[in-house]
Structure 1
Amino acid sequence: MILVLGGTHETTEVCTLLNQLGLEHVLSVTTDFGAKLYGHLSTECLITRFEPDTLEAYITQNEIGLIIDATHPHASVVKAMASSVAHKMNLPYILYQRAVDLEIDLKMAMPTFESMAQAIAHVRSYSDEKTHILITGIKHIREWKAAFDVNQLYFRIMPSLESLKICLDEKIPAGNIVAIKAPCSIAFNQTLFKDFEIDYFVFKNSGAGSAFKQNIDSLEGTDVIPICIQPVVSKTSESCGDLNALKSKLESLKLF
């Protein structure tokens, strides 16, 4: 049995290929929203957040023979954990990752950062109590709250109950939450900039197929300062970025 760690649009590519090859697989996602988007593509869909011990146990109990990692480009902790567990258990591991251009060629000056902590420190050093910040995603909501007054922060999140609950549990004002599936249109983003009087727009370079291009294009003609978080891109013998390469790796493992 193959375990696919998914939740991104690469999930569709990977699961579709496995289905075409007649290879049974379990898809693991972290939210109900992910299951609704991709669950129908797999033999079985599992909603969980693996830790090393639970991943090891699942592999043993379900006779997993291969892990295909199609998690988000910025999910570095999950990728490292999955790779470590696979190596420990002498299990084949394939990292299927989208193309991400780290050399961003833009007409505007755009600071880029290797971590959200660096980005927060930068914005903090150039802001005051009147600064308004629009942040995509909720993973680092507590770090932003620790550095700024909550009324300065606006979050553009995925329209899932899980994401909304996290915002409300962290006492983000309801008027500072925008729940919509990305990518958003340029006009929509610019409306948020105007209505919320945004000074900084924080987003991630998540590569091809993500909201990255729309986020960049939304900045044109505005005074909003972009804050871009770069991913850690792995280039090893375990990684591949297209279906032909993935198929070749599966064939080398004699799975079909």
Structure 2
Amino acid sequence: MILFIAGTSDARELAITLQEQGRQLIASVVTENAWKELQQAGIEAISGRLDAEQMQVFIAEQGVKGIVDASHPFAEEASKNAMAAANTANIPYIRFERKEQKFEDSSLITYVSTYEEAAEEAAKRKGTIMLTTGSKTLAVFTEKLLSNPDIRLVARMLPRKDNMEKCEQLGLPQKNIVAIQGPFTTAFDKALYRQYEVTCMVTKASGARGSVDQKLEAAKELGIETIVIERPEMKYQNRCSSFDEVIDYLHTFNL
């Protein structure tokens, strides 16, 4: 049994690939929607966040022999918990993470290391700031930007009930919420930026499957400034950026 931690669309594809090869796995996801998608694909899954201790209990109860961590590039806690649980249980840990994109240097792009730095940079600007960074760190931006009379803060996020409730709690007006699920094209992003008269867009360096290239290309074509949050630095064990690499590691560990 492999514990498969899923957090992206390509993670779902990897889980399907591994199962089709005859490997027994159970996926761990955060949201109910992700759980439903995996169930529909024939992948056994559990939903809800697991800390390191809960993972250790799950590993023991389910007889897990290895962990494949395909969580989102910015889900640091999930990866830290998975590595800690694997080390405690003395089982292999394999990290799959889509390649980080490299963009041409541009005066329109500002790179930062944290959400807090992104909020500080955004606060130096005026006009419409569009967030495409999800709901988890929304409070970092609302605290810094929402009361600024020179800034209209617009947040694009997944159309989930808990996201809408969080926006309401933080005081983000409904008219400034774009609740929609991708993937998106460059043309769509350009139309969205025009509709909201965006002057600055904030995003994360999630990789191609996170549609970052389309977001940046659309912003570049319209002359819109972009603040890009770089991936957190993590020392992963057995790091892979392709399905074949993951499979090779699984063969090495007889999984």
Question: Normalized against structure 1, the TM-score is what?
Answer: 0.89
Match of residue 132 from structure 1: 128
Counterparts of 2:204 and 2:70 in 1: how far apart (Å)? Answer: 17
Shift in Å at residue 43 of structure 1? 4.0
Match of residue 104 from structure 1: 103
Alignment RMSD: 2.1
Shift in Å at residue 42 of structure 1? 4.8
Counterparts of 2:32 and 2:103 in 1: how far apart (Å)? Answer: 34
Does the 8 A contact of 2:93 with 2:237 survive in 1? no
Counterparts of 1:108 and 1:221 in 2: how far apart (Å)? Answer: 13
Shift in Å at residue 234 of structure 1? 5.0
Q: Secondary structure at the match of 1:119?
A: helix
Q: Does 1:209 align with 2:206?
A: no
Q: C-alpha offsets along residues 195-252 of structure 1, whole Å, 9 cap, x if unaligned?
A: 3232210011111322111101111342421011111365755111112211111111
Match of residue 26 from structure 1: 26
Does the 8 A contact of 2:29 with 2:46 survive in 1? yes
Counterparts of 2:64 and 2:162 in 1: how far apart (Å)? Answer: 28
Q: Secondary structure at the match of 2:131?
A: strand
Equivalences for residues 153-168 of structure 1 within 5 A: 153-168=153-168
Equivalences for residues 25-104 of structure 1 within 5 A: 25-101=25-101, 103-104=102-103
Length, aligned pairs only? 251
Q: Name stretches of at least 5 consecutive residues in structure 1 with no aligned partner.
A: none
Shift in Å at residue 50 of structure 1? 1.1
Give the letter aligned to residue 119 of structure 1. Answer: A
Does the 8 A contact of 1:27 with 1:42 survive in 2? no
Match of residue 138 from structure 2: 141
Counterparts of 1:242 and 1:191 in 2: how far apart (Å)? Answer: 33
Q: Name stretches of at least 5 consecutive residues in structure 2 with no aligned partner.
A: none
Flag as ranges the 4+ runs of structure 1 deviating above 6 A: none
Counterparts of 1:11 and 1:82 in 2: how far apart (Å)? Answer: 15
Counterparts of 1:39 and 1:169 in 2: how far apart (Å)? Answer: 32
Give the letter aligned to residue 135 of structure 1. Answer: L
Shift in Å at residue 170 of structure 1? 2.7
1-10 vs 158-167, which deviates more? Answer: 158-167
Match of residue 16 from structure 1: 16
Q: Secondary structure at the match of 1:36?
A: helix
